[in-house]
Chains A and B, each alone.
Chain A
Amino acid sequence: MKLAILALKNLTRNRLRSLLTILGVAAGMFLYASVQTMQHSLSVATESSAADTTLVVYRENRFCPSTSRLPEHYLSTIERIPGVRQVIPIQIAVNNCGASLDVITFRGVPPETLKSYNPGIKVIDGSYDDFVNQTDGALVGQHLAERRGLSPGDKFEAVGVNVTVAGIISSDAPQDENVAYVHLPFLQQASRIGLGIVTQFNVKVERADQLQPVADQIDQTFKADQQPTNTRPEKAFFAETAKQMIELIGFTRWLGLGAVFAVLGLVANAVLLIVRGRVKETAIFQTLGFSRLAIGLMVVIEGILLGLVGGLIGVIGAMAFFHFKSFTLGNEGLTLALTPSTTVTLTGLGVAVALGLLASLYPAWKATSRPLVQSLNS
């Protein structure tokens, strides 16, 4: 503790240098935390868990909602397949099928089924009844509403579809917070797809171990139809359909790594400069009886403090940025909400501290390895 206080006081000596180093670390850690947020959001959306029980039935060999067309009457056939608990037909209309940061997605669903199919949805403003009773009513995800400045009663238009906001929703599924749920028949007509045609069916099965057998059974059932299907678990569907987006996010991993090395170099350089500027003082401390370990620890603590303070600013800044900007990556009609997470925050701070520690090891060794008499005479 005493050494930590001394180290902290030492950092205030050259305030400009410390401030610039901290800002550099903050910038690097902001980039690192941003990349990690994308990676984390992607893994939440694509990595399967034992609790997953949802299948997506899509048109075979189609990857965009505008080309995946399935007859709505498949619904009753799918419902009869053993293991199926509930099915919802969905018509999807998007303003951009390619990769985009501002994708608007309409999901047309039977309004009376939505609540029972997706109980995680909560209306936080407006009312669910208004949505059910209003043909052009829309339940808008809160991130989309924030992005577009929407509130209940507002009208908005996208993809040539005009809707009235009936309610703002939050959901335990981040993707739901970036879409607008509308009536299925309304969307079928408004998007000129035509009644009776849907983009996909989302199917809930009784147990996770039934995902594959039920998927196989669905595809087998429609194999000979004019519109054959390809059924996959929801997360696998996301991973396969949004390949471009995933590759892009995968690439950002290298940016994160670059940021880590930049922070490492920056802190190491700053601590090395600190140590070089205090050769004689370090010798004085040793003359007073401070051990090499104690002096090395003081140097390491300075490095850790630089990393920690910079990391706090950078990581918290990144989390605030994602919280307030509500970014959503869209690809092939699928949306990936970039949401701040506690895991990324804690990992980011841990990495910042570890980098500060790592970067100061060599300077700490350098500070204590020189013969004492030589340092005193420097």
Chain B
Amino acid sequence: MKPLISIKSVTKTFTKGKTTITPLENLSLDVPRGEFLSLMGPSGSGKTTLLNLIAGIDSPTSGEILIDGNDISKLSRAQLTKWRSVHVGYIFQLYHLVPILSAYENVELPLLLGNKNKAERRKTILAALDLVGLSDRAEHRPSELSGGQEQRVAIARAIVHDPDLLVADEPTGDLDRESADSILDLLNRLATDHGKTIVMVTHDPKASAAAHRALQLEKGRFAKEGHLLTPA
């Protein structure tokens, strides 16, 4: 089966003063559609850089990143922004909900970029909130929600426009064990039941164990491949 994500010989370098840093070097990776992939590694191993490249937030110095057959490494900043608005849902470690907006309004944000009318948006938002189990918290502001609930809203915001790809940067890093397990279970369901391809960066081995496949990154290269579950 054709992979959703196909990374070919990607290198990323930064220049900091007179020093050149290479967080990723000649890295290749295929991620099949519907896979829940975990990226692990110590700080500075390049996992967040790789996540940002896959999400189209950053561009590689060399190599190709094909998402569903489209080479996003060739896209301009404006084209990448437009591409992200359709194809990517991003889940942050600290949720990053807009504090003055309700859960409903936060989830609505990606839909404001599309052509859906108010009624269509409402239906989609309520479905997304229902999927993450927060339909009764729609009118609550982030300050009125627990950390786990905030992350669920953030996940609803990431999936509301029905992207193929979800990228999650330490989605359970700020949560207690119980909430973390619940979020991991939700991500797993999104991959398994809804066919979303998920790439998650984590430091937590337990979180990594919830994924279908885990990859270890060290100094910009894959060190070892962990367990592999076949997506249902």
Contacts and interface: CB of A to CB of B under 8 A. Distances in A.
A4 B57 CA distance: 26
A12 B57 contact: no
B88 to A, nearest CB: 8
Interface in B105-154: 109-110, 112-113
Contacts of A290: 81, 85, 109, 113
Given A373-B52, A373-B58, A288 B78 contact: no
A291 interface: yes
B83 to A, nearest CB: 8
B219 interface: no
A284 B89 CA distance: 11
Contacts of A134: none
Contacts of A119: none
Interface residues of B, number: 24
Interface in B51-95: 52, 55, 57-58, 77-78, 81-82, 84-86, 88, 90, 92
A247 B166 CA distance: 69
A284 B77 CA distance: 15
Contacts of B205: none
A9 B100 contact: yes
Counting chain B CB atoms within 10 Å of each CB, the highest count among A2, A6, A288, A376 belongs to A288
Nearest to A286: B81
B81 A289 contact: yes
Contact of B85 (A281, A284, A288, A292): A288
A281 B98 contact: yes
Given A287-B90, A288-B157, A13 B113 contact: no
A287 B57 contact: yes
A290 B84 CA distance: 9
A291 B113 CA distance: 9
Interface of B: 52, 55, 57-58, 77-78, 81-82, 84-86, 88, 90, 92, 96, 98-101, 109-110, 112-113, 157
